[in-house]
Each structure stands twice: as structure tokens, then as C-alpha cells.
Amino acid sequence: MKIRIVDLETTGLPEDQIKGVCEIGWTDLSDDWKLDGPHSMLVNPGHPIPAVTRAVHHISDADVEGAASPDSAFRLLMTGMEAGDVFAAHNAKFEQAFFGGGSYPWICTMQCARHLFPDAPGHSNQVLRYHLDLDSEEDFDSAAAMPPHRAGPDTLVTAGLLRRLVFASSVPRLIELTTAPVVLRNVTFGKHRGSKWADLPRDYLQWVAFKSDLGADEKHTARHILGAGT
């Protein structure tokens, strides 16, 4: 078994009308937990790269002129994948919106980190990199993990994070946690921002759980606390 960690740099968000992939990156994590990567390839999205997304990854139209097509890039990501292998990404829903990955299961390292490392100061790739001191790993190439917001380096950081998650749990459990709602610790919105969810008034928790249009994690948290209190 191997886990192929992927990252895509794009010209827009999944909900944008015009969007495409301008770079792919991947790092493989073997069944003996060795890192193979990072690897990357520029992709021609078929349209100009907007300034707002170029400001994130700094990939220009000139960079992708003559680069691979998205279809050929996605075929490359599938090359070498075998039965029992797994795809992974940080905020996997984003990558899956552009690249489905066939029938292989996915691990979302961001969602799993929210489950397993709830006390981290944040759950972005780079915050977790330094919170967990991934650069101290003997086989972690800190130079190859730079710069951020480029597809290859970001997959190396995610691979280092994924290895820590596997050691804290297991691959099958991480696949389960990828789609499982999280029990949140702190409120990040509204009049109770900064409070502990466990300290919120019961009537407010009931509103969140049964009447609000908040997200799945917020509703799950409220229902979890209400159930614990009965």
C-alpha cells in the first residue's frame, strides 16, 4: 500500500465559473512510511491566470505556455496507483473538486488533524508543520518543502503531517475521520466567539443543533454536548 499525497495550484476556486489547474504536485508515502517526493509539473489551464490567484502561487501565463494539459496531468497522478492505495490532500474536498481520483479512497489531513490534534493553534498546512516540528524529522527535506503555495513543496509538508497522523491512529481510521464531523472546542463566530462550546447556554446549543443553518461540525458539536448533558 502507498498513499499518494496530491496538491493542485489553480486559477480559481471550485465554485468559480472559470477555473482550472496550473500545477500538480505529489509525494508518495510508502507502507514503510518513507517519503518519495516531492514531484511537480506545470499545467496549462487553457485560459489566463487571474492576478488574484497568481498572487498566491506566483505562476504566470508564460510559465504554463506549452505545459501539459489537465487531462494528461491527471493521468500522471493516476500512474502507479494500485489496488489498496489511497489518495490524500490537505483540505481534500478542494483537490477532489478538480481531480476525482477514480475509486480510490481519500484522506483529508486537515479534517483528521482537527480530530486528532484539537489543541493545535491552527490547522493549516504550515501551522501544523511548525506546531508538530515536521522539519526535525530525519528524512524531511526542509528546503524541498519551500516555498509554500506551490504544489510539490506543499505535498511534502502534507506527507510529513500524514505520517504523524498515521502514527497517532491508522490508515482505515483516517479514512473514516475524513468524512466524520468534528467535536469543536472553541466558538469561532458570533456573540460567543472565543468561548468554549461546552460552556454555552443550553438554549443556544439547541438553536445551533436544530434550527440554525450552521455547518455540520457546529451542529454535531452542539448535539454532542446536549447529549452528554442528558
In contact, 3 and 85? CB cutoff 8 Å: yes
Q: Could you list the residue range(s) of the whole structural domain that residue 157 is in?
A: 3-178
Looking at the fold, whether 149 and 212 belong to one and the same domain comes out as no
What is the model's pLDDT at position 229? 55
What is the model's pLDDT at position 188? 87
Looking at the fold, whether 132 and 174 belong to one and the same domain comes out as yes
Looking at the fold, whether 112 and 189 belong to one and the same domain comes out as no
CATH number of the domain that residue 77 is part of = 3.30.420.10
Looking at the fold, whether 191 and 155 belong to one and the same domain comes out as no
Please report, in tens digits, the pLDDT of each residue of the chain (230 residues total). 899 999 999 999 999 999 999 999 999 999 899 999 999 999 999 999 999 999 999 999 999 999 999 999 999 999 999 999 999 999 999 999 999 999 999 999 999 999 999 989 999 999 999 999 999 999 999 999 999 999 999 999 999 999 999 999 999 999 999 999 999 888 988 899 989 999 999 999 999 999 999 998 999 999 999 986 54
What is the model's pLDDT at position 91? 95
Residue 172 phi, psi dihedral angles, 5° rounding: -60, -40
Looking at the fold, whether 160 and 196 belong to one and the same domain comes out as no
30 vs 32: CA distance, rounded Å = 5
Looking at the fold, whether 117 and 202 belong to one and the same domain comes out as no
- What are the distances in angstroms from CA 194 to CA 124, 141, 155, 183, 197? 19, 36, 32, 15, 9
Looking at the fold, whether 166 and 223 belong to one and the same domain comes out as no
Cell of 53: 490567484
156 vs 158: CA distance, rounded Å = 5
Looking at the fold, whether 137 and 189 belong to one and the same domain comes out as no
In contact, 110 and 129? CB cutoff 8 Å: no
- What are the distances in angstroms from CA 18 to CA 25, 45, 58, 79? 21, 10, 18, 27
Looking at the fold, whether 152 and 216 belong to one and the same domain comes out as no
Looking at the fold, whether 63 and 162 belong to one and the same domain comes out as yes
What is the model's pLDDT at position 220? 93
- What are the distances in angstroms from CA 167 to CA 26, 139, 149, 173, 182? 21, 16, 26, 11, 20
In contact, 11 and 47? CB cutoff 8 Å: yes
- The pTM of the whole model exceeds 0.85: yes
State how many domains the chain has: 2
Looking at the fold, whether 59 and 20 belong to one and the same domain comes out as yes
